[in-house]
Structure 1
């Protein structure tokens, strides 16, 4: 998967508030699927679908031990997104700083008086 595909997949996974809430819950540590589903007013199959999307984006890892299905947060894709955002933030900060300098230079430049239009 290319970086752009990874970014698109991760951003799409993060676009849903339920999936973001699941990731917030998993930030506290590995959790069973049942514990993840508890706070949500939706079916287990719906939760499983959200987990599949998060897993496909590389944001979680699911393991099975006996009858327990545990999910663990994976931060590498979030690190990739943070890096992408930082690169773009630096670029736009530089562009805005340059614009500010030019606007300030234009404002501070001495102005030459305009010739008065003749009254006709």
Structure 2
């Protein structure tokens, strides 16, 4: 798993929306295509990119191997959340330091 591949996959708006839809639970590829207003081939391309980035996993119900059901994999999103939290801490620290510097320069006004 790579943060770079996660971010690259999520750079595309239809893929982000797919992840949002899958956050509510697994869905069939056809349901996703319909919800996003995409053709089945277009949806297939987006799902392939999400699979390659390891953001989603594919399964088949036992009653029909032709049906593909997609679900989120938690690991890449946990890695993304950890990275975002670290970045937020870094920026908060930087902004607090800037504020302190500006206040010291202006006498606290």
- TM-score after normalising by structure 1: 0.78
Using the TM superposition, give the Cα deviation of residue 43 of structure 1 relative to its aligned residue in structure 2, in angstroms. Answer: 2.4
The aligned runs of 1:19-30 (5 Å cut-off) are: 19-30=15-26
Give the Cα–Cα distance (whole angstroms) in 2 for the partners of residues 99 and 38 of structure 1: 48
Partner of 1:62: 58
SS of the equivalent of 2:36 reads coil
What stretches of structure 1 of length at least 5 have no aligned partner?
Answer: 110-120
Partner of 2:48: 52
Q: 1:106 to 1:78 in 2, by over 3 A?
A: same
Structure label with greater radius of gyration: 1
The aligned runs of 1:101-120 (5 Å cut-off) are: 101-108=100-107
Q: In the alignment, does 2:81 pair up with 1:85?
A: no
Structure that is richer in helix per residue: 2
Residues matched between the structures, number: 105
Partner of 1:18: 14
The CA RMSD over aligned residues, in Å, is 1.6
Q: In the alignment, does 2:41 pair up with 1:42?
A: no
The aligned runs of 1:1-12 (5 Å cut-off) are: 6-12=2-8
